[in-house]
Structure 1
Amino acid sequence: MQRKRNRKNRNRTLHIGLMAVLLSASYTTTGNTGWAASGGSNTATSAHTSFGQAGTRTADRETESHHHHHAHEEGQKQAASVQWSFSPEQPQAGERTAIQLAIVDAHGQPVKSFARNHEKEIHLIAVSGDLTEFQHLHPVDQGAGRFTVDTVFPKGGKYKLFADFIPAGGSHQVAETEFEAGGKTAASEPLVPDKQLVQTVAGTQVSLLTSQLQAGRETALAFSFKDAKTGKPVQDMEPYLGAAGHVVIISENLNHYLHVHPKEGQTAGPEAIFETGFPAPGLYKVWGQFQRHGDNFVTSFTIKVGE
């Protein structure tokens, strides 16, 4: 009987009832995380940019927030789709690239109205094929279902883009595309699980604690924050785009994408708890975006999920 009560308590702890919505941010370089969040300036292309067709249009998906997060897996269908284009047509490493998204409905007509989610209409995640580079952008609405944003890809090679959006009156959707950036490539870094899930970024020590990492099971991810100088738990964390933090999780093979947010009310610290579920075993990269003293920052961890 005591074991049953303990099991109930553990289950109750895991069901923290988190809201997941979309994140945010433009880029600055931070450590080895590649692009990092920056609440400063979103750069966007002008309406006069000439776009060439490029990239590989892949499956768009409609997702349910079964685990109170946005998740998507390759091959899922959805009501709207994205037509991707780049200028220049072949993105080059180290050079500014304009990305355009044209969003159309099932009849090929432009989707002209979107629900704002965490203060933005579209959240665009870009990662390199080896997951060493990460960027979170907000394309700017140019009208008639078209959104544009500028970025720089730091090295040549494979990249994948994930666009999160909600058509007005519809449900959350994720569209994706893959492409190759020209220019000098760097040796791919093999993805290995971190031995210690602790990082110090922007004067804050961030630790990641996890419950059982097993595919198909609900998992709690707890980020705790300490001041890097004093070692004391911090109580001055700040909301970032309407939430205590934002977490993006992508599998090693790039097939699984999760976007999670914590429950409302968790803002000041010293921890932020997220709840999600991993669709398959394997290695995953976890990026967390948080804000303190007016500066937002990114942490990244690699974890292994069992069967």
Structure 2
Amino acid sequence: MNQETNHGTHGHESHIHGVPSNIVEEIQTEWNVSPATIKPKQESEIFLSVKKNGKNIISFSAVHEKQMHILIISHDLSIFQHLHPNYDGEGKFNVKTTFPKAGKYKIFADFLPEGSAQQLAKYDLIVEGEEQDDAVNFDKELKKQVDDLMFELKFDNLAVKQHVLMTFTVTDSKGNKITDLEPYLGSAGHVVIVSEKMDEFLHVHPKDEAAKGPDVEYMTTFPISGKYKIWGQFKYIGKLYTVPFVINVPGK
């Protein structure tokens, strides 16, 4: 069992930065994984209990249709999973998954206890075996095809510690604009952003939750300069598309 104190998060833009001390002291999480030693491609289960002053928290508000969002990211940022655990109604969550390769992973849990601030809990996990990290290279062009759709990413002014407008534009492989994106968990699209060392985490939702494309806009702030990886998730004709980009946020 591993118990950690959480960090509060901030509205639609969640990050582990500048947390009020009373929130840090109030809510704790207890993590367990099964089996205790995890191997690549082996079904594993993650258990998470949420407590306040030593007692289980029972009531959680749904944020984008779910009581908890679990984000699993490998140390080299090559693996990304967005999961939604089962809740037993007594303060305990669990979810099954497999880890594609050996190495270090960080697991983030994003949730909102009723009557409290939104929380971000984190847990470090090692998958046994020979670790082979992939290089985290900047994308020379912020345009990428995922299956039959093309995604382009633009920023109005990419800078540290400033409000930044971030826009995904979605077209098909022939360049035709997609104007009928479907809601994914009640939103036009979800974006998760982490810094290279995963010490900064942002879970961002669109300015217009009902946007259908081709443009989906987000406002965010990058707390520190440096390398970040961005995963955008969009749903179209019943299929979920996850598109990754690696960017550099310059300092002042």
TM-score interval, normalised by the smaller of the two chains:
over 0.9
Q: Deviations over 1:98-119 (max 9, x none)?
A: 00001101x1100011001100
Question: Where is the strand percentage greater, Structure 1 or Structure 2?
Answer: 2
> Which aligned pairs between 1:1-307 and structure 2 lie closer than 5 A?
53=1, 57-65=3-11, 68-73=12-17, 77=24, 79-105=26-52, 107-186=53-132, 188-228=133-173, 230-307=174-251
The structural deviation recorded for 1:89 is 1.0
Query: What CA distance in whole angstroms lies between the structure 2 residues aligned with 1:78 and 1:286?
Result: 30
Deviates most, 138-147 or 73-82: 73-82
Letter in 1 for 2:156: S
Letter in 1 for 2:243: T
- Of structures 1 and 2, the one scoring higher in RCO (CA 8 A, sep 6+) is 1
The structural deviation recorded for 1:267 is 2.5
Which consecutive residues of structure 1, in runs of 5 or more, have no partner in the other structure? 1-52
The structural deviation recorded for 1:57 is 4.7
Query: What CA distance in whole angstroms lies between the structure 2 residues aligned with 1:214 and 1:116?
Result: 32
Contact 1:233 1:270 in 2 (8 A): yes
Query: 2:241 aligns to what SS in structure 1?
Result: strand
Letter in 2 for 1:226: T
Q: Deviations over 1:229-259 (max 9, x none)?
A: x211111211111111000000001100000
Contact 1:284 1:304 in 2 (8 A): yes
Name the TM-score, length of structure 2 as normaliser.
Answer: 0.94
The 4+ residue runs of structure 1 with deviation greater than 6 A are none
Contact 1:113 1:145 in 2 (8 A): yes
Q: CA RMSD, aligned part only? A: 1.6
The structural deviation recorded for 1:265 is 4.8
Q: How many residues were matched structurally?
A: 248
Contact 2:5 2:29 in 1 (8 A): no
Name the TM-score, length of structure 1 as normaliser.
Answer: 0.77
| Correspondence for 1:30 | none
Contact 1:211 1:220 in 2 (8 A): yes
Query: What CA distance in whole angstroms lies between the structure 2 residues aligned with 1:265 and 1:91?
Result: 38
The structural deviation recorded for 1:134 is 0.3
Query: What CA distance in whole angstroms lies between the structure 2 residues aligned with 1:306 and 1:78?
Result: 34
Larger Rg: 1
Alpha-carbon spacing, 1:258–1:204, altered in 2? closer, same or farther (3 Å): same
Contact 1:62 1:79 in 2 (8 A): no
| Correspondence for 1:46 | none
Q: Deviations over 1:163-186 (max 9, x none)?
A: 000001111010001121112432
Q: Deviations over 1:60-97 (max 9, x none)?
A: 101233xx411224987253111000010122111011
Alpha-carbon spacing, 1:224–1:81, altered in 2? closer, same or farther (3 Å): same
Query: What CA distance in whole angstroms lies between the structure 2 residues aligned with 1:172 and 1:101?
Result: 16
Query: What CA distance in whole angstroms lies between the structure 2 residues aligned with 1:254 and 1:116?
Result: 25
Which consecutive residues of structure 2, in runs of 5 or more, have no partner in the other structure? none
Letter in 1 for 2:199: N
Query: What CA distance in whole angstroms lies between the structure 2 residues aligned with 1:219 and 1:226?
Result: 23
Q: Percent same amino acid at aligned positions?
A: 36
